[in-house]
């Protein structure tokens, strides 16, 4: 509540100060902006690297994807501002930088979900997840690894023609794993001869 003994100018300054304090708290807390999905992603990824590929890790990665889709932060409006007709809660769009971090976390969570599925020999599910990653994040960080892993999954299902097609698509100078792609293509071509 705003102290009644303040002049109108002091009340305005008081409200602005309270809003600034709230904004400062939000800016300091990475969890309130972009830290939660990123932190959860890191924890899930560490579990995965330690050898855990159970459904718990996959569920965590799916929850991270959902959290990363948030586009707004909800801010409680001070009562004095509400008295002038403002709603009790405002949905403020996240800044572009934060949206970018969320998108990156969401894409990484999708890619790593596919890796968990591969570890569990769920190759059909992994193929679908990798295809979805490539469709939703064309040119994303994991595009070329997703192509290679999708091709490997297809090979486990004796879908060699589809695997070769994807590997040919990945056979580009921009691919940091170009050498691996060419070795796989060469191996598949020599097998077919």
At 6 the pLDDT is 85
Q: Which among 64, 99, 134 is the end of a domain?
A: 99
* Domain ranges, residue 158: 121-193
Residue 107 lies in a domain: no
64 and 138 assigned to the same domain = no
Residue 127 lies in a domain: yes
Provide the domain count of the chain. 2
Q: pLDDT tens across 54-71, in order?
A: 667 677 767 766 766 677
95 and 127 assigned to the same domain = no
Residue 111 lies in a domain: no
54 and 129 assigned to the same domain = no
Q: What is the dihedral of CA 96, 100, 102, 108, to 10 degrees?
A: 170
Confidence grade of residue 183 (pLDDT, cut at 50, 70, 90): very high
15 and 70 assigned to the same domain = yes
Whole-angstrom distance, CA of residue 74 vs CA of residue 120: 38
Q: Is the pLDDT confidence value at 25 over 50?
A: yes
3 and 75 assigned to the same domain = yes
Q: Is the pLDDT confidence value at 174 over 60?
A: yes
Residue 84 lies in a domain: yes
At 16 the pLDDT is 74
Residue 164 lies in a domain: yes
Residue 168 lies in a domain: yes
At 60 the pLDDT is 72
Q: pLDDT tens across 123-158, in order?
A: 999 999 999 999 999 989 999 999 999 999 999 999
């Amino acid at each position: 509540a705003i102290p009644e003994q303040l002049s109108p100018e002091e009340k305005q300054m008081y409200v602005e100060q309270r809003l600034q304090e709230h904004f400062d708290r939000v800016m300091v807390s990475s969890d309130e902006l972009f830290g939660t999905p990123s932190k959860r992603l890191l924890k899930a990824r560490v579990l995965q690297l330690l050898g855990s590929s159970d459904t718990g890790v996959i569920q965590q990665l799916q929850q991270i994807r959902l959290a990363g889709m948030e586009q707004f932060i909800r801010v409680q409006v001070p009562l004095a501002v509400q008295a002038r007709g403002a709603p009790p809660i405002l949905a403020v769009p996240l800044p572009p930088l934060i949206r970018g971090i969320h998108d990156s976390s969401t894409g990484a969570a999708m890619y790593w979900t596919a890796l968990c599925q591969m570890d569990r020999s769920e190759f059909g599910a992994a193929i679908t997840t990798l295809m979805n990653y490539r469709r939703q994040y064309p040119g994303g960080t994991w595009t070329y690894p997703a192509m290679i892993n999708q091709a490997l999954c297809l090979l486990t299902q004796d879908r060699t023609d589809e695997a070769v097609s994807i590997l040919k698509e990945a056979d580009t100078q921009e691919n940091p794993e170009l050498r691996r792609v060419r070795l796989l293509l060469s191996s598949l071509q020599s097998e077919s001869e």
